[in-house]
Structure 1
Amino acid sequence: MRFLIAAALLAFAAPASAVTITGLVNTGAGFALGTNGVDSSWQLFGGPAFVSGTNGVFPVATNWLADTATSRWITPTSNAGDSLSPVADDNYAYTLNFSLAGLIPGTASFTGRFAADNRVTSILLNGNLLAASGGGFTSWTAFGASSGFASGTNTLTFNVTNVGQVSGNPSGLRVEFLTSDASVVPEPASWAMLIAGFGLVGAAARRRRMVPTA
C-alpha cells in the first residue's frame, strides 16, 4: 500500500511532459524559394492565401523582407506585386487554425514575429486581443501568447491594413513562430494510480481515526 501511495503522490508532483505545438505553421512553410501556390495552412477571409513572390521581383526583397527557407510572404492574390487598394484602405484577415488535442490548454504558450504591408492592426487568439500590433514590411515585430488557448481547435487571426494609394500598392503578411510548448494530458494509467493512491490515503486516515486510544 505504501508503494501505491508513494507512486500516486509522485505522479501528482511530477510535471506533465511538454511538447512543441505542431500546428503553429509559418506562412509559406514548405514552399521552396521561387515556387508559388496556395498556402495550405493559412487562409484569407476563409479562402486561399497565396505564396506568390520571388526574391528580387517587386516587392519581395526589393521593398519587403526577403523570403527564406523558414517562411515566405503570403498575399491576397496570386501575384505578390499586384497593386491593391487604389482608393481607400483595405483590410485583410489572415487566419491559422491549430489543434491542442491531447494537450493542456492552460499550459500552452508561443512566441513569434511578423512583418506586414502596410501594418497589422490587431492579432486575435480565439477572439482575444494579443498585445502586439503595428509593424511594417522592412523589419520584424515580436508577438506571443501565454493564455487564451482552448482545448481542441484554436484560431489565430492577423488583421492587416493596406493603406490606399493609386499604384504600386501590394499587401502581404509574413509570420514566423520562434518557440511554442504545451503540457501533454496525463495517460489514463497515471490518473488511475493517482486516484487509487488518494483512496488508500483516505482509507488509512479513517482507520487511524477508528483505532481506540488508551
Structure 2
Amino acid sequence: MASALILGVPAAAAAATVTFTNITGGFFNGVLANPATSPAISYTGVDTNNTGAAWGTPAGFGQSGYKFATAGSISAAVTPPAGVSPTVTLGTFQHVNFPISSGTSITSISLRFNADVDVDGVSQGNRSFLYQFSHDETPNAADPCADGGAQGVGVNINGCADRVSVNFISQSDSFDIGGVAYTLDVVGFVSGGGSPVTNFLTVERLTNEAFIVGRLTQYDIAAGVPEPATWALLIGGFGMVGAAARRRRALVA
C-alpha cells in the first residue's frame, strides 16, 4: 500500500484571506504642465471615501478634474509565496473632462489608497498603497487625434479624447502573509465589462467613468516593485479602453 506521505515534497501552502476595511483615498502631488500660468490644483475629500482634484482655466464649461470613490471593503484570497489574487475593485474613477485653456492641465497626479489590513482575521494595521496617474491633455482640434482616430468620431466626438494611465508607486506599503511580503498592486481600468487596461481614453465635455482594479501580489521591498512585474507589462497589448462616458448634467455645445 502506497504511503500517504512522500518525503522530500513540501506540503502545499494554504491560501490566506486578506481583507481591506475602513478604506479611504486622497489625491496628492499633482504636477501642472505650466505652473506659472495655471491656477493651483484644488483637492477635496482628502483621505475620505470620496476624494477629488480639479485644475485648469475653464474654457466654457468648468475645470477638469478627477474623482475617486473607494470600495466599501475588499476581500481576496492568495496563496504564498508566489501566488497572486484575482482582480478586485478598488473603487470608481471619474475624469470630468471639460475643455480648459492650453497649458493649464496637469501632467500627473498621485492617489493614496489607505485601508486597515487583516490576514486571516489577524490585523496588520493600517497600510497605504500609492498609485500615479499620468495625464495626456490632447489638443482638441487636432485631426487625426493623438489616439490616431479621426476628429468628431467615436471617443473624439467632442474633440480629441484625453488619455489617462495608472501605475504602482514603489513607496507603497506591504503586509506579511506567511513570512512573505505582499502589496496591493494596481492593474488598471475596467469599463463596460472589458478586460483591464492601463490607458483610459476620455471623451471631452463629459464625465467619464471606469472601475480601478488591483490584485494582491508578492512585493520585492528592496526593488520596490510587485512580483511578477506589474500588469502594465502584462496587459499593455490589450489596447486602450473605450470611454465610459455619461452625462452628469446637460451640456451646451
Q: Same fold (TM over 0.5)?
A: no
TM-score (norm 1): 0.30
TM-score (norm 2): 0.27
Higher helix content, 1 or 2: 1
- Whose RCO is larger (CA < 8 A, sep 6+)? 1
Higher strand content, 1 or 2: 2
